[in-house]
Amino acid sequence: MAYKLSKKEIVTEIVRSGKDPVYFINNYCRISHPMKGLITFNTYPYQDDLLRDFNDFRFNIILKARQLGISTISAAYCVWFMLFHKEKNILVIATKFSTAGNLVKKVKSIMKNLPDWMKVATVTVDNRTSFELSNGSTIKAASTSGDAGRSEALSLLVIDEAAHIDGLDELWTGLYPTLSTGGRCIALSTPNGVGNWFHKTYIGAIEEDNEFKTSDLPWDVHPERDRAWFEKETKNMSRRQIAQELECNFNTSGDTVIHPDDIAWVNERIKEPQYRTGWDRNFWIWEKHIEGEQYLLVGDVARGDGTDSSVFHILKLSTMEIVAEYQGKPTLDMFAKILYDAGIEYGKCLLVVENNGIGISVLEKLINLGYPNLYYSMKSTHEFVEANQGEVNNRAIPGFTTSTKTRPLIVAKLEEYIRNKVLNCYSTRLFHEIKTFIWKSGKPQAMRSYNDDLVMSLAIACWVRDTAIEVNQKQVEYQKAMLSSMYCNTKKLNTSIKGMNEYKEKTTYKEQLEEKKKKIEPHMWIFKG
């Protein structure tokens, strides 16, 4: 459209642009192209749909692939929102302050390159990461730390790369009240695993549990991208990168300890338990005790602050199946009794309890109850000790100690078991913990606001299976082999040494004669006649 218009035409264009952001952006907004320089922003259909959603819905959450121009379309919407609405207050937050600042710079650049007659409001205050218009509308970038935006009423909150912002749950709790007077929110991001604010909010929106309108924009929503483009683009990308950058797949994105493909494998095996029993119906049983099978029971005691649960798994060692699982919040006395009863039910199986913190109290109660097959380990080396030896060895302690030394070892063993498809897990509760078990600052741990009790209990089980039960079984086999190679003489020997086997007391002369007579009597017929 030519810019030399009559006053009437100018008024008509301004009015039309003020009513329709799609029209305004496609006709008057110009953006910087890395190769072509300053060009008119000709939007794609999916971008037009987003603009309408921004206008029609207060809360929008966009799950997107990379390089779809969503940040740019959000910046253009901010221009329209500020220009045609008085005294609007926009806040932009992102993973980094610089990222939020870049979006504000895009807003400023689009605003600067509008036709002069379209600038119904002009920039009055211009700072590096913020500016204000003559109509009172403002925009600024802010850090996600501290009290960003909490003290002011917001007209529009833009959250860029929301899935990658640590602590966004708490930040949202503080920011949401600032939108209570009719403020809007645009949250956009590539996926970054499950369990974070972006994932929970997006899933909640799909299930209609919150106010957000969802938009799902994978790589192929772009009309100029085909399969050939995808194959070329992903040639040197990992499965995790493809899921995160292009496919908009929550489950296979993120820095999870267990590989996304292995998480998917676990998910395929989930099935309902045969029984949900116990005082709280949290004892799930997939298979009852089978005579002749060996089992392993591993428990983890809650910290006692109410944020986590006491849990245990029962594994059938021949198949490494989880045949039973518990997750609940009983008292220490109750949990000890639950462990005792479960262990007895499954053949008095080896019972391992993590002895960190108040776990030692549960172990003491199990000892008092007289559980016959408790796991003991050495204090310094964490080596397995037979129960009968552990009870008399002052260097041995009941239970398993999770420490900075043992934690990475048991987690590595769990990952190995799942990766090699050795472990058979059926529990939805366990699956959700596996999905939210991530690397954070180089350490394997649960995502913020999530727990890893079931994961760690299972990790201990895998470790004990390899380092205690398997090693012990080898020793048994060695002993059997040694015994079978030994010659055993079964001939009975008489001895006159008191206390020895086959001891025979000395007899009198008369008794000796009687004994000889008994031996001769069968042959006396010879002397008859």
**CATH of 7-247 among 3.20.20.70, 3.90.1150.10, 3.40.30.10, 3.40.50.300:** 3.40.50.300
- Given strand 310-316, what is the order of strands in its sheet? 275-277, 283-285, 321-328, 310-316, 295-300, 350-353
The predicted structure's pLDDT at residue 493: 46
Q: Which residues pair with 157 in a beta bridge?
A: 91, 185
What distance in Å separates the CA atoms of residue 104 and residue 120, rounded to the nearest whole number?
19
**For residue 92, which of 43, 138, 41, 44 has the smallest C-alpha distance?**
138
The predicted structure's pLDDT at residue 529: 44
CATH 3.30.420.240 for domain 260-477: yes
pLDDT for 264-313, tens place per residue?
899 999 999 999 999 999 999 999 999 999 999 999 999 877 788 999 99
* Residue 324, C-beta contacts closer than 8 angstroms, at least 6 positions apart: 283, 284, 285, 286, 287, 313, 314, 342, 346
Is 125 in a helix, a strand, or coil?
A: strand
What percentage of the chain exceeds 90 in pLDDT? 61
pLDDT for 127-163, tens place per residue?
888 999 999 999 999 887 655 656 679 999 999 999 9
Output 268 or 3, whichever has higher pLDDT: 268
The predicted structure's pLDDT at residue 516: 67
- Identify the helix (H) or strand (E) that includes residue 266: helix 260-268
Confidence of residue 343 (pLDDT cuts 50, 70, 90): very high
Residues forming CATH 3.40.50.300 domain(s) in the chain:
7-247
Question: pTM higher than 0.75, yes or no?
Answer: no
**For residue 59, which of 190, 204, 166 has the smallest C-alpha distance?**
204
pLDDT for 218-276, tens place per residue?
999 999 999 999 999 998 888 778 888 898 888 777 788 998 889 989 999 999 999 99
**Average of per-residue pLDDT across 474-502:** 50
Residues forming CATH 3.30.420.240 domain(s) in the chain:
260-477
Calculate the average pLDDT of the chain: 86
pLDDT for 28-69, tens place per residue?
999 887 777 788 899 999 999 999 999 999 999 999 999 999
Is 503 in a helix, a strand, or coil?
A: strand
452, 454, 459, 460 alpha-carbon torsion, rounded to 10°: 110
The predicted structure's pLDDT at residue 306: 75
The predicted structure's pLDDT at residue 505: 59
The predicted structure's pLDDT at residue 389: 65
Q: What are phi and psi of 443, to 5 degrees?
A: -120, 140
The predicted structure's pLDDT at residue 527: 54
Q: What is the DSSP letter of 418?
A: H
**Average of per-residue pLDDT across 12-38:** 90
